[in-house]
Amino acid sequence: MRESYKCPNCGFIINRDYNSTLNDIYYGIIELNKKLIIKNRKLNNYFKEYNINMKIPAERLREYTPVEIDAPALEGLSPHVRVSMVDESGSLYALA
Q: 45 and 77 share a domain?
A: no
**57 inside domain:** no
Domain that residue 75 falls in: 62-95
Q: 44 and 69 share a domain?
A: no
What pTM does this model have?
0.46
Tell how strand 4-6 and strand 13-15 pair up: antiparallel
Rg from Cα positions in the chain: 30
**54 inside domain:** no
Once rounded to an integer, what is the mean pLDDT over residues 57-69? 58
At residue 50, the pLDDT reads 85
At residue 55, the pLDDT reads 72
Once rounded to an integer, what is the mean pLDDT over residues 62-84? 57
Per DSSP, the residues of 49-71 read HTT---PPPGGGS----EEEEE-
Q: pLDDT per residue over 11-57, tens digit each?
A: 999 999 999 999 999 999 999 999 999 988 998 888 888 888 777 66
The structural domain count of the chain equals 2
Average pLDDT taken over every residue of the chain: 74
Q: 43 and 67 share a domain?
A: no
At residue 48, the pLDDT reads 87
The helix/strand/coil state of 85 is strand
Q: 45 and 67 share a domain?
A: no
**72 inside domain:** yes
List alpha helices for the chain, DSSP H.
16-49, 92-95
Cα–Cα distance between 46 and 40 in angstroms, integer? 10
Q: 9 and 45 share a domain?
A: yes
Cα–Cα distance between 83 and 24 in angstroms, integer? 59
At residue 47, the pLDDT reads 85
φ and ψ at residue 47, rounded to 5 degrees: -60, -40
Q: 39 and 68 share a domain?
A: no
